[in-house]
Amino acid sequence: MTSKEIRQSFIDFFKKYDHKFVPSSSVVPFDDPTLLFTNAGMNQFKNIFLGIEKRDYTRAANTQKCIRVSGKHNDLEEVGKDTYHHTFFEMLGNWSFGDYYKKEAIAWAWELLTDVWKLPKDKLYATVFREDDEAYELWKQVTDIDPSHISRFDEKDNFWEMGEVGPCGPCSEIHIDLGPDACDKKHVEGHVCAVNGGCARYIELWNLVFIQYNRENDGSLIELPSKHVDTGMGFERIVAVMQNVGSNYDTDLFTPILAKISELSGKAYHDGNEGMAHRVIADHVRALTFAIADGALPSNEGRGYVLRRILRRAARYARTLELHEPVIYKLVPTIVEIMGDAFPEIKEKHQYISMVIKSEEESFGHTLDRGIDLFEKLVAEYKAKGVNQISGEDAFRLYDTYGFPMDLTRLMAEEKNMTIDEAGFEREMELQRERARKAGKWDYGLDVNWDEWTKVSDGKDSEFVGYDALESDATIRLFKKEMEHVYLVLDKTPFYAESGGQVGDVGEIQGDGFVLSVENTVKQGEKIVHIAKGDFPNSVKNPTVRARVKRDQRMSTARNHTATHLLQAALRQVLGSHVHQSGSLVTPFRLRFDLTHFERISPHHRRPPRGLHHTDALSPSPLRPH
């Protein structure tokens, strides 16, 4: 069977048992702050498991796009070294939301594997959580598995959790014995091949998770209102088994990509270490393709930084194939050909995906070559001195000057049988963070130890009334005099405090015998602090004041704030719907708009190619590019 046929066979099998096919959710979970990337098929059903959402179906099946490169599920460093770890993979899954439970899940899994796909029963093994007597007995009751092939394991292997918090429960895994020749630990003294034994002979095919708990922030387990089933089968692994090949990379999911890499490089793909570069590039371009299609972009933080690391790791391996020009982007059409029918979003956005990858390759290519040259010189100097550890200072220089992620430097050092002073690297990183904090700090010398401020009156403070009025009576709650400035906290204020890139209001505060000129308004925690100059008494007898915002500057700031939204709408029309605001500065006199885009913006930019622009919330806009 082809990979397309296997995928469809899985979906059709569960449709037969009244499961609704639910399309894969985005691999970029913008609505879930606990995840950088979707890492399992159950992510989109999380609220159902928590009992806070209901849908019009209780059984579902799909194939979910997943990326595992960070946090608890981090496979990045293993990719390429073996034949079964991937950054991007598909997860075939079926779910029960308070409907069927362990009995049906086990029986149907066995039916699909042995009756439909005809896998040899004597090669299949089941594991259960050590305390799950119910699942242990069900394997013997509802299947004809060899009872000696059922084993119990601890939490590490048979208790599944999506993350540090969230739905979880005991699980039952199905493994297959690929035979003694598949073992990759034969050289390890004392190694014994076994299920969960750490070698490639016995590999996990399917994980049947029985969700009955929610893991709280304090680590405790709370029973869920209903019991659910969440299963996940690694698509790449089952395709390798079904196609009777020794590696995921020998399946029709990868062979066309590997062939294209060989064509571009002039170097044939081989199993073993000599094929590692091919495998890394083939794997990483899949992750990049799907992540970019779903809205992520390479950047210096968050999921964007993870993508940048993936791309730079692939570019580094491309150099070992003597590919010095951008080449990774040329593999996107091959991926579309293999997977575009199942995931039409990559077909629709293939031009955009290629442009993003090419731009990132071009921007990194020159510094990569210079960085590799510097690294080679450093290694030669260290070796000449008989030293096998790269200093933290040198590792940091590669990072700071040449944009090398630490894992890339670590990889290159490993290839030279060297280590890195990682503690020294972290010290250099902290020094840089401190320099950045000092350089970016605009400080009035404000001391926010409120115990040292002078209290004038009791009651709530810092109520903002500036949306309705630019002038109001107020009462002083706290003040502090320091150098030439005086800082005031009022019970209420029309002054907008600096926030979200918009500067604070200026104006004046008039009291009994004094007038202060307000230079800025900032927030310190929940308090709004007015930073002012003027003659202010050391003790306040009458706390009542009149606070006035300077109208013309507030109006100019408001207009520039509105302009940022209009600018974003225009940018999305001209550059594409991937554009998002990543920062801004709004003052009465100017505005700065930071945005996400994959290349330098030219004055002659035109609308994106047909199929790349998508209607957004502000379209159609009266603005038109000139």
Both tokens assigned to 99:
């409907």
Pinpoint the residues of the chain covered by CATH 2.40.30.130. Answer: 450-549
How many CB atoms neighbour CB 5 within 10 A?
Answer: 11
Distance between terminal CA atoms of the chain?
54
Instruction: State the pLDDT at residue 605.
Output: 58
Q: Which of the four pLDDT bands, split at 50, 70 and 90, describes residue 606?
A: low
Cα angle value 422/427/433 (rounded, 5°): 125
Which of the pair, 79 or 322, is modelled with greater confidence? 322
* pLDDT single digits (tens) 453-485: 999 999 999 999 999 999 999 999 999 998 789
Amino acid at 392: G
Question: Region 59-83: what's the mean pLDDT?
Answer: 75
Classify burial at 160, counting beta carbons within 10 Å of its beta carbon; exposed 0-12, middle 13-18, buried 19 or more. buried
How many CB atoms neighbour CB 497 within 10 A?
Answer: 21
Cα angle value 385/388/391 (rounded, 5°): 90
Type and span of the H or E element at 379:
helix 350-384
CA distance 91 to 239: 12
Q: Is the pTM of this model over 0.95?
A: no
* pLDDT single digits (tens) 591-601: 887 777 777 77
Q: φ, ψ for residue 393 (rounded to 5)?
A: -65, -45
CATH code given to domain 3-246: 3.30.930.10
Strands (E), 19-79: 20-21, 59-67, 69-70, 73-74
Answer whether 127's CB lies under 8 Å from 158's CB. Answer: yes
What integer best gives the mean pLDDT of the chain? 87
The answer, yes or no, to whether residue 69 has pLDDT greater than 70, is yes
Most confident of the following: 357-366, 425-434, 454-463:
454-463
Give the 3-state secondary structure of residue 497: coil
Pinpoint the residues of the chain covered by CATH 3.30.930.10. Answer: 3-246
CATH topology of domain 450-549: Elongation Factor Tu (Ef-tu); domain 3 (2.40.30)
CA gyration radius, the chain = 30
Lowest mean pLDDT among 243-247, 524-528, 611-615: 611-615
Listed residue (487, 521, 516) closest to 505, CA to CA: 521
Question: Region 156-164: what's the mean pLDDT?
Answer: 84
Question: Region 418-429: what's the mean pLDDT?
Answer: 91
